Structure 1
Amino acid sequence: MADDGMILNFSLGDAPLKPQVRKIQGGKWRDRLKAQRSAKRGIESTSSASPSSSLNAKPTIVIGKRQGISLSEQSHQQPSPHPRPSGPSGNVTSRLFTSNPTARTVFDDEPKTEEEPAEPSNAPLSEEAASFHALGISRRLAQTLSGKVQLKAPTAIQAKVIPQLISDDSDAFVQAQTGSGKTLAYLLPVLQRILSVEGQLRRDSGLFAIVMAPTRELCRQIDVVLAKLLPPWLVSTTVIGGESKHSEKSRIRKGVNILIATPGRLTDHLEHTKALDVGTVRWLVLDEGDRLMEMGFEEDLREIVAKIREKPLDGKTKNGVSLKGLPTRRVTVLCSATMKMDVQKLGEISLKDAVHISTSEDDGKDEAKGKGEGEVGGEGDRQVVFSAPAQLKQSFYIVPAKLRLVTLISLLKATFLRRGSVMKAIVFISCADSVDFHFDLLKQPASSNAENATKPSKTPDSSSSSTSLTANTVAPAAYLGSPANPNIVLHKLHGSLPQPVRTATLGAYSKCEDPCVLITTDISSRGLDVPSVELVIEYDPAFSSDDHLHRIGRTARAGRPGKAVLFLQPGCEEGYVDHLAAHAGSSSSTPPKAESYEGVLHSGLSQHMPFPVDTDAKPVAEDSRSFSQRAEALQLHLEQRLLSPGGKGLLEAARKAFRSHVRAYATHTKAERKYFDIQELHLGHTAKSYALREAPTGVGRGGAKEGKKAALKEAARKKRKHGGKARDEEEGGDDGVGAADEDEEARERERKMRMKMKSVMDAAGEFNIG
């Protein structure tokens, strides 16, 4: 019998018989499990569809974001319409303009109109309205001001403070805008009354005034201003951390008339330097009082005030000169920009029957004396709002995290496109590690092979000793040059640098004749008066709104114009602008204006940008290319530069800076933490702003163990050297890593925290703040 069986023909195609689901890595384990199940369901639904579609369709794999953002949040991200540049093989080289959160801020697309410049609020008064001689300053001292300081008329705060301190022996609380001349407001009356003493005063006649400031740089600046006014027979000096205590004691023994000091070092000298006699001290000035309290110097200030007050007041100098023209009591002058609770507490510590002096419209109400010791204003008194100068132009950019680095470079390049438009700019960054990375990234490499490499600038301070001190902190810039300004100089400054290096770097920045940029932390936000600073960029927002006002106060000083730019990210950070407006109250300064970062990229990348290091990514030189493609090429070049054989050190610096930035992001004040929510920070996108392909691990565990061990060893060394007082912040440390007082206790706490964090990190890969 014939076989009549049925023959079946199957077309299997190229796909495997059993679809395989690719294993998903990264993110939380729950999100990975959900993604795995979704991928499996997608494959099953595809296999149950029509044969033609099932054979041709490819399985879709849903991959969650890395740390900190859930999968549901990823679905709400809006893709950007910008085209993606492709490499030789057609693959996407970089995706800066995709998967970015949409900004809520509405940008004004109307053409810009010329605005009338605002009347400066901190400019000197006209010579017809007031003069230093009319305020009680001698003609000789007024001529010195006009010749050496180039100041012919006083500012509004000087016109109120100088007569008060010359004619009255009451304590004073001085409050005014940044750049309004508070330093001269208290120095001139002190110097005028010292010079009015009948009889010859010399450097060994005694110490008459002590000025305390929170940072070494501010102390140096006060001493520089005072040195221009002092006659040859009077001497001032500084006692600050980082300098030789032996040389400071030697200068004190020779004789000092006015002493400028940081609280920690002054406390040390009061305890251990017998030559420091405070019997003739008539003035105690606390400059930047709010910052002194924020930095934790309350106990030091209490000790200093108590030691000065317990010493009986001497009526004559050691060589018999009568001090009849000086105050009959010790006068304390407290200078602060704010009237916060800690400042009021400092007033209770140091002031008696204080007079409140400010430049507000209703300041007549504030110039009444307090009723008791330490009172600088009753409960019903009006709080004076500290505002930015009226002529300061403020703007802010809402920049996605992935685009922050290329936007910063574009903004700096656009700033120096025209000759003479901007000479000096300051970029504020949250931590010292990030300052180091951005400086190393933006400076010209030593072995650069770019065609248009910049050359080091020639500054007046070109001595060999100064050059050796600034060898690692001053360098010609890459990426930022233009035909109009080929030589742009980078400077970096933060509290982890040795004091001689900090002093030399700040001096080089002040004296630089070429266009220059200072990349710094908040150590430069208080009191520094650098001439010709036209632009301040807050690349990382300040940790408090008060610090923000001090930062932008580095420009638009003494009536000069200035501009301040604030970088914010889409999302919760956009509410920070309304918070700043509410904090400023009815300020006379111009409110910040929202500007599009795309315009910055377009203007900054409009000209050819040579790359200082050869990578696979090349500059986009064709005019037909869009600014987005230029930005993609620049980002790709920066990433490849870090991954190149010669970029190993830069790669480690980027990872270290990323970790420090994330930890610093969580240290905003409690009132402002809702605008800087660490849970909303996208670590993968933030890594792009450090030219990293992916976020480094170990953020929650505080970074490298070696770094912490080195910090603990340094703390122990300082503790042994300074008699149990390990101070870093006074003396400027701002890395966000606090040195422990006891080495063994710190090690034990670190061990317990490391074990706790290990258990958490092993259970879930999400971000945890240490």
Structure 2
Amino acid sequence: MADSGMLMNFDIGEAAPLKKQVKFTGGRWRDRVHAQRSARRNRDESASATNATPPSNDQSHDFDDERPTKRLKTFGDTNGQSDYSRRQETSGNSNKPGGITSRLFTSNPTPRTVFEDPVEESEPTKPSNAPLSEEAENFLALGLSRRIAQHLSSKLELKAPTSIQKNTIPQLVKTDSDAFLQAQTGSGKTLAYLLPIVQRIVSLSQDEAGANTGIRIHRDSGLFAVILAPTRELCKQIATVLEKLLRCAPWIVSTTVMGGESKKSEKARLRKGVNILIATPGRLADHLDNTKILDIGTARWLILDEGDRLMEMGFEDELKSIVGKIRSEKLKERNKEGVDLSTLPQRRVTVLCSATMKMNVQKLGEISLEDAIHVTASQLEKEDDAAVELNDAVFTAPSQLKQTYLVIPAKLRLVTLIALLKSAFSRKGSVMKAIVFISCADSVNFHFDLLRSSTSQPSTSDDTKDTVADAAYITSPANPDITLLKLHGSLQQSVRTATLAAFHASTTPSVLITTDIASRGLDVPAVDLVIEYDPAFSVDDHVHRIGRTARAGRAGKAALFLQPGCEEGYIDLLKSTTPVASQSYESTLQKGFLTPIALPKPSKTAEQAMLLSERQTPNSRAEALQIHLEQRLLASEKEKENSHPSSKLLDAARQAFRSHIRAYATHVRDERVYFDITQLHLGHTAKSFALREAPGGIGGGPSRRTFKPGQNHGKGQKRKSGDGDDGNGNARGGGGGGDGDAGTVDDGAARRMRMKMKEVMSAAGEFNIG
């Protein structure tokens, strides 16, 4: 045959003829989206006119997961779009400038949580950690001298004790028994053990009526009390409280010894004499071994504050050594000046303080306590065993603390955080101070640099020039000036101290971005809001984090960010100890972006100015803000020659992403089922760091990281230097909760992820989660 081909005829019936699919390339992406929508709308109208079903495109996909070069080639339809996004498109806002639904709202996992409308309480909840009524109780009735009671009332403005103080002070003043103190955060445990110590030392030189006994006590009279705390910040805070208390007895001298300070100056202070010593375990163990002038023969009290944290951070060996040396030293009945010390305890009294109950606290009790009394805010029990029985106790947050949680897709985490902060500071006086907890130091650095204002004036102090700045994005007409601060364990001690002092003293609205270094024991006045941007590594750490607000009877709010999927099961674990209410992230975005967003500097393009104008919807503002942040990171790549911190913002985002993924693997074993790293969507998580694609090198070791001079790098180095701090490369301070396996993934995980996490945890010392 001349023609070997085949001819085929197709009968398409009465359906409309097939139209060629049009592909748009070049130009701005928003113009291409407009054109694509117009073409699709024309096809739909034509199909409707002929009563035919328009052809569907089965190749729709989410281009947020692809590289930017692929995203420029083609666009899919909205088949993968969420119900929330479709509602926004059909609400009539699509005709407004920038009304196109953001890619932030597409292909997100659907939460299992059913969000309910918040119920307004008819009357405020009665605080559970507030001081008692002055008519019912006063400090004088607890066995304190009139001098101390008047000082508390007139100078410190403390009219009545709290419940834990009421139950603790009489026992430690009148008896010589060991004690375990357990109470809610912010209930006054520090004064509960400080007041009896000061009272009994004052009684050496003055009787209850204030008359002089003829005995002269001064700094060289001997060391009477040793107080151990897990972090330098907590040591500083205890020292500040004690300094205010000792103004009624200036002849009693206290001091601190801790990592990060000069050992030479510490030895000089010890040589001059000290009556009450506040220390971190590593540095105190160092001085007991090497400082011969330190005489513990007269020491009557050993206080172990935040006992669970002391054990979590791996101080067990140091604590055993300290307790053993103090007990082995013969107790002196007279000091070197011949002063009779019979009014002080005739045995060494150990007081263990902890807000939460853990097995490691029980182990510490077995090491340090003998015939102890268990003191809580509601009761006082005598224990027959050598250790306090801790198994059945349950810890709860203060009743006036309002807790909420938000289930947020990974892509929306960053804009939701900004929206929550923006709405919190939208009314003057509604929130004065807020704390945002993040999992690792690299992520703290990135979010601080991202949210700081580019026009911020440098701090007048050299110590805070890189840690305190003016905030951007979250300001409002009611609060145009908001101070932004950062704190983590990799900062030098002088910087940490100055930054925390600036947060304490701030009289303007302030936001502190920090790691868990600020979660234990720190008492900052007027903290109204705590945001857990990254969930805590254990439920007990969660309790301590939210305990930074609602202290001493004040009201407070706490918000927890979770992702759809396995993390939603974490709520059932929290509800077993504290009441938690759900909150929709959609309503948070609507409330936070109801008004235009103030950019840190004038927009360079008319498009951005239009997107942030008054005519925009909250969702389009969220979209515009995300694009703006991504463009800032890309622009910073071209500005590396500059000295401004934002010039390295893209590198900081990539490093923060890597450290965040590694830190995610360090949740305690019992809770790791809720934080399964194999279920993390790396592309969507990168979006929360304003990255357009997930960077590689997650499993890179320490050789990939360049450390700055003077920075602490690892747990081993920390111990060698005698540093008693909690933060330096400690993989969350033993964050596996003592299980010894914080870096492995649960059995049954994908083989590829297991191999990756082996690389991840081989670099445990690389990042600081402090």
Matched to 2:656, the amino acid is A
Equivalent in the alignment of 1:216 = 232
Farther off after superposition, 252-261 or 621-630? 621-630
1:640 paired with 2:631, answer yes
1:368 paired with 2:382, answer yes
Which of 720, 728, 734 is matched with 1:725 structurally? 720
Which of 104, 108, 117 is matched with 1:96 structurally? 104
Equivalent in the alignment of 1:315 = 333
Equivalent in the alignment of 1:625 = 616
Which of 574, 581, 588 is matched with 1:580 structurally? 574
Task: Indicate the SS of the match to 2:422.
Answer: helix
**Pairs aligned (count):** 669
Equivalent in the alignment of 2:261 = 243
Q: Give distance in 1, aligned partners of 2:545 and 2:289.
A: 35
The 8 Å contact of residues 316 and 323 in structure 1, kept in 2 or not, is answered as: yes
Which of 178, 188, 192 is matched with 1:185 structurally? 192
Q: Give distance in 1, aligned partners of 2:441 and 2:453.
A: 20
1:596 paired with 2:584, answer yes
**Structure 1: 5+ residue runs without aligned partners?**
17-52, 68-73, 449-453, 457-461, 740-752, 754-759
Equivalent in the alignment of 1:32 = none
Query: Structure 1 residue 143: deviation in Å?
Result: 1.2
Q: Give distance in 1, aligned partners of 2:685 and 2:474.
A: 23
Matched to 1:262, the amino acid is T
1:51-74 deviation line (CA, Å, top 9, x unaligned): xx9xx999948799969xxxxxx9
1:632-674 deviation line (CA, Å, top 9, x unaligned): 0000000000001235500000000000000001110111111
Task: Indicate the SS of the match to 2:404.
Answer: strand
1:158 paired with 2:153, answer no
Matched to 2:608, the amino acid is K
1:665-687 deviation line (CA, Å, top 9, x unaligned): 11101111111110111110000
1:116 paired with 2:128, answer no
Q: Give distance in 2, aligned partners of 1:57 and 1:600.
A: 35
Q: Give distance in 1, aligned partners of 2:94 and 2:466.
A: 38
Equivalent in the alignment of 1:202 = 218
The 8 Å contact of residues 279 and 313 in structure 1, kept in 2 or not, is answered as: yes
Equivalent in the alignment of 1:688 = 687
Equivalent in the alignment of 2:475 = 481
Q: Residues 597 and 307 (structure 1 numbering): CA distance in 2 closer, same or farther, change over 3 Å?
A: same
The 8 Å contact of residues 298 and 332 in structure 2, kept in 1 or not, is answered as: yes
Equivalent in the alignment of 1:29 = none
Query: Structure 1 residue 600: deviation in Å?
Result: 1.1
Q: Residues 276 and 61 (structure 1 numbering): CA distance in 2 closer, same or farther, change over 3 Å?
A: same
Matched to 2:569, the amino acid is G
**Structure 2: 5+ residue runs without aligned partners?**
10-17, 21-51, 67-77, 206-214, 640-645, 735-743, 745-750, 762-770
Q: Give distance in 2, aligned partners of 1:471 and 1:604.
A: 29
1:524-573 deviation line (CA, Å, top 9, x unaligned): 00000000001000110000000000000000000010011111111111
Q: How does 1:650-661 map to 2 (within 5 A)?
A: 650-661=649-660
Query: Structure 1 residue 705: deviation in Å?
Result: 2.5
Matched to 2:628, the amino acid is H
1:256 paired with 2:274, answer yes
Query: Structure 1 residue 707: deviation in Å?
Result: 1.6
1:583-607 deviation line (CA, Å, top 9, x unaligned): x1xx6xxx11111111111111111
Q: Give distance in 1, aligned partners of 2:233 and 2:155.
A: 21
Matched to 1:174, the amino acid is L
Q: Give distance in 2, aligned partners of 1:182 and 1:326.
A: 21
Task: Indicate the SS of the match to 1:636.
Answer: helix
Task: Indicate the SS of the match to 1:357.
Answer: strand
Q: Give distance in 1, aligned partners of 2:759 and 2:100.
A: 32
Which of 276, 295, 301 is matched with 2:319 structurally? 301
Q: Give distance in 2, aligned partners of 1:762 and 1:385.
A: 36
Which of 434, 449, 452 is matched with 1:443 structurally? 452
Matched to 2:355, the amino acid is A
Which of 155, 164, 177 is matched with 1:170 structurally? 177
The 8 Å contact of residues 496 and 735 in structure 1, kept in 2 or not, is answered as: no
Query: Structure 1 residue 503: deviation in Å?
Result: 0.4
Query: Structure 1 residue 341: deviation in Å?
Result: 1.1
Query: Structure 1 residue 482: deviation in Å?
Result: 1.1
Query: Structure 1 residue 340: deviation in Å?
Result: 1.5
Equivalent in the alignment of 1:528 = 522
1:501 paired with 2:495, answer yes
Task: Indicate the SS of the match to 1:96.
Answer: helix
Equivalent in the alignment of 2:37 = none
Query: Structure 1 residue 175: deviation in Å?
Result: 0.5
Q: Give distance in 2, aligned partners of 1:148 and 1:271.
A: 40
Matched to 2:658, the amino acid is R
Matched to 1:633, the amino acid is A
Q: Residues 8 and 128 (structure 1 numbering): CA distance in 2 closer, same or farther, change over 3 Å?
A: closer
Q: Give distance in 2, aligned partners of 1:91 and 1:624.
A: 9
Q: Give distance in 1, aligned partners of 2:534 and 2:663.
A: 10
Task: Indicate the SS of the match to 2:666.
Answer: coil
Task: Indicate the SS of the match to 2:135.
Answer: coil
Q: Give distance in 2, aligned partners of 1:261 and 1:99.
A: 52
Q: Residues 705 and 65 (structure 1 numbering): CA distance in 2 closer, same or farther, change over 3 Å?
A: farther
Q: Give distance in 2, aligned partners of 1:280 and 1:147.
A: 32
Query: Structure 1 residue 233: deviation in Å?
Result: 1.2
Equivalent in the alignment of 1:563 = 557
Matched to 2:703, the amino acid is K
Q: Give distance in 1, aligned partners of 2:162 and 2:98.
A: 64
Equivalent in the alignment of 2:141 = 134
Q: Residues 78 and 726 (structure 1 numbering): CA distance in 2 closer, same or farther, change over 3 Å?
A: farther
Farther off after superposition, 593-602 or 173-182? 593-602
Task: Indicate the SS of the match to 2:204.
Answer: coil
Matched to 2:619, the amino acid is S
Equivalent in the alignment of 1:430 = 439
Task: Indicate the SS of the match to 1:536.
Answer: strand
The 8 Å contact of residues 402 and 688 in structure 1, kept in 2 or not, is answered as: yes
The 8 Å contact of residues 396 and 566 in structure 1, kept in 2 or not, is answered as: yes
Equivalent in the alignment of 1:514 = 508
Q: Give distance in 1, aligned partners of 2:400 and 2:268.
A: 46
Q: Residues 698 and 558 (structure 1 numbering): CA distance in 2 closer, same or farther, change over 3 Å?
A: same
Which of 273, 277, 286 is matched with 1:268 structurally? 286
Q: Give distance in 2, aligned partners of 1:596 and 1:289.
A: 37
Q: Give distance in 2, aligned partners of 1:495 and 1:5.
A: 82
Equivalent in the alignment of 1:670 = 669
Matched to 2:657, the amino acid is F
Query: Structure 1 residue 621: deviation in Å?
Result: 4.1
Matched to 1:300, the amino acid is E
Q: Residues 164 and 688 (structure 1 numbering): CA distance in 2 closer, same or farther, change over 3 Å?
A: same
Equivalent in the alignment of 1:21 = none
The 8 Å contact of residues 87 and 93 in structure 1, kept in 2 or not, is answered as: no
Task: Indicate the SS of the match to 2:558.
Answer: strand
Q: Give the TM-score, by structure 2 length.
A: 0.80
1:166-214 deviation line (CA, Å, top 9, x unaligned): 1110100110000000000000000000000141100000100000000
Q: Give distance in 2, aligned partners of 1:139 and 1:89.
A: 72
The 8 Å contact of residues 495 and 732 in structure 1, kept in 2 or not, is answered as: yes
The 8 Å contact of residues 93 and 636 in structure 1, kept in 2 or not, is answered as: no
Which of 602, 609, 631 is matched with 2:597 structurally? 609
Query: Structure 1 residue 234: deviation in Å?
Result: 1.2
The 8 Å contact of residues 237 and 522 in structure 2, kept in 1 or not, is answered as: yes
Matched to 2:167, the amino acid is K
The 8 Å contact of residues 528 and 557 in structure 2, kept in 1 or not, is answered as: yes
Q: Give distance in 1, aligned partners of 2:308 and 2:115.
A: 36
Q: Residues 766 and 241 (structure 1 numbering): CA distance in 2 closer, same or farther, change over 3 Å?
A: closer
Query: Structure 1 residue 81: deviation in Å?
Result: 1.9
Query: Structure 1 residue 92: deviation in Å?
Result: 7.7
1:449-506 deviation line (CA, Å, top 9, x unaligned): xxxxx778xxxxx9x5xx1110000000011111111110001000000000000000
